[in-house]
Structure 1
Amino acid sequence: MKDLLTKIDSEDGLFHNGNPATGTVGTRVNDVWLNDVQASLRDVGGELNYLLSKANMRPVPSDTTQVYKAIKAVIGAERPLYSGVDNNDEGVVATAKAVKAAYDHATTGINNAATAQTTADGKVSKTGDTMTGSLTATSFIISSHSGAMLSASNSDVYLKNNTSGKFFQIKNDDWVAYENNPLLQQRKLSGENLNDLSDANKHVGFWGQSTNSNATLALNYPVTKAGSLMVLRSAYNVQQVYFPFDENVIYKRNLKSGYKTWSPWVNLIPTAATLNAITNDKKSSAVNSSSEDTVATSAAVKQAYDLANGKADKSDFSILHDLIVGIPFPYPLSTVPSGCLAMNGQKFNTSTYPILAKKYPNGVLPDLRGEFIRGWDNGRGVDSGRALLSSQGDAVRNITGAFKITDVYANDFCSGVFYGLSKPKSERVRTDENYHIDTLNAPLVDYPHAEKIGIDASRIVPTAEENRPRNIAFHYICLAA
């Protein structure tokens, strides 16, 4: 069966009426698309005829229920009914009796499960109940095939996959590990040296320092204040991030290559003192700068915020809008977009488009179809005597010249755009081999005389019915308001 019919080739895939008054072109329907429509309709008709043939039917124009009858006949013939519940054949249709048997069987299973749960009450707590006292065991089997096991050992809790041997641990000192490698831990700091928290297999996690007295420069803290420490896996084992408890700053450092030395602590959020140390040539209040070597000031941030929040000077946008109304734009589509007019020499309503009327007071747009736009001379003297919006016909610079030919055959002495236009006359005279006349003792020969010389530029360059440069055709439109 054919795929969906391709939509008509228009900007939105829909059909539209044309409007000569506005230069709007109607949707063009070509033979390719109509042939596709015919092929698609015949394809659907062929599919329906095949369905009727499978039901031993022929098309009857007056019967509007044939497709329904054919589907009903085919389904009944090719998918037999079955009342059992033990058939896995997807080509068989279950009867209501089969559905009822399955429902009754499921109801019996639910009742049996409820009875079993009631029997277990008082022995093992079920979901939602509260068990009093404590339950002590060395291991719990949580899968019928013993694929996983929850156990306790040395005050740690393990969740183990018995098949692969892999396990998670909940350690007794408040951290979680995967095969003894910490995934998440939250631990207290006392007098540890932060340089020693460098092992990705032991120290990754969250650490807290609660006293200022333990946060010393000698123990390699970035500041002498209590706070929080994150130890994260990184390229060279780990990196550390420290948050002082009473400052809006963040410090970071990395373990260097070789795993033995640390980089200096770096403040990721500069303080006011740091910003004040920036020289003026490194500050910018502009919102249109692409520099990556300057710092934006508060004025720049506020200006950007006000613009995003709709507080910018909207008159700037109005001026820009009014400026471009009526300016010709080369547009690549034949359909004129909403809010624009085609520049086809048509009249427009000056009341409807007052801004456009200021630029074209006579209420008529220039006809730019097939035309080139030329810059106004404005006193330069290159194209003098021209008024704005005046038209100009085609022309070329004058080509002049002269030549004299005496007693020669034109096609032997012309080239380029010049050629012998008529058949030459001949007479017998005495000449040498170069057609020089009056040479004594020269033999008599036929000597040609050209009657006319022609000129044809097409012998050298491309020619047409007009003078033009190379070009690409666009649809000239303008914004109308």
Structure 2
Amino acid sequence: MKELIPPIESPDGLFHDGNPLTGELGTIATAKWLNDMQEATQATQSEILTVLESAGMSIDLSKKNQLLKALNQIIAGKGFAYSDVSMLSTSAIATEYFGSRFWVDQSCPSSFTLPDISNIDSCGQTITIWNVKDTNITISVGNSSNSISIPMSTVKSLILKPTESATFIVEQNKMWHATGDGVFKHSIMFSANLAQNGWKREPSGLLTQWGSAIGSNGLSNVTFPIAFSNRPFTIIFGFREGAYPSYAQSIVLDDTTMTNLGFRCRTMMATSPVTNSASAYFWRAEGI
């Protein structure tokens, strides 16, 4: 920033018109004063451009509020000050929408790309998207070198289900940070395989697995869909029957064979003597 320029060299420091009737001369704009003015103008422009660059903005001659938007970002400390919520009608989101909050309805696209932040050195810019469609929408990075940070992982895209929302924050060069009710399901803390033989994780670290099996001559060897870190805490069973059984049945777990990978058990019927059961059964295991 250039220091305050001195006033023009006149008796009162002001400019005056000349008067041809009296012969009074006008104030002379000296080369020194003009050079001081030019340097001061350039210095002020450089200061303003530095603010815009810090906000990741480029000069747009059609806009008259770029400095205001950039200052709002710096003052807010975590992105441009929020604007009113508006409809997101374009699939490619530009940097000029930093600080905006959008809703997406049936008339809007179903896929969107975030701004490319490969060359943005500042951080804190935000974009919030709320899905009010009755179908899912997809939010993807605008450049394959960019990523989205979510709890315990990074992704290239997120799916927002109906009524879900997400706020995307520029965390650093090439990296978005996403938060909101539409984000956590993408974290490995909530990952799952909801199949007949499946599993799910919980934020506490608990891993629950389940499945169905049937033995050969009453003996079953079951492999878990994915490995536990250690032996599971517990395994419970339930027989599968199409009709009321004639005899009581029981499942005995062979504890010596239970590992983090699977288990072996025997299915039996309470006949006299005890015989093997050919019934299928459900199992459920919990561990970490």
TM-score norm. by structure 1 comes to 0.18
Q: Which has the larger radius of gyration?
A: 1
Bigger strand fraction: 2
Bigger helix fraction: 1
Higher relative contact order (CA 8 A, sep 6+): 2
TM-score norm. by structure 2 comes to 0.26
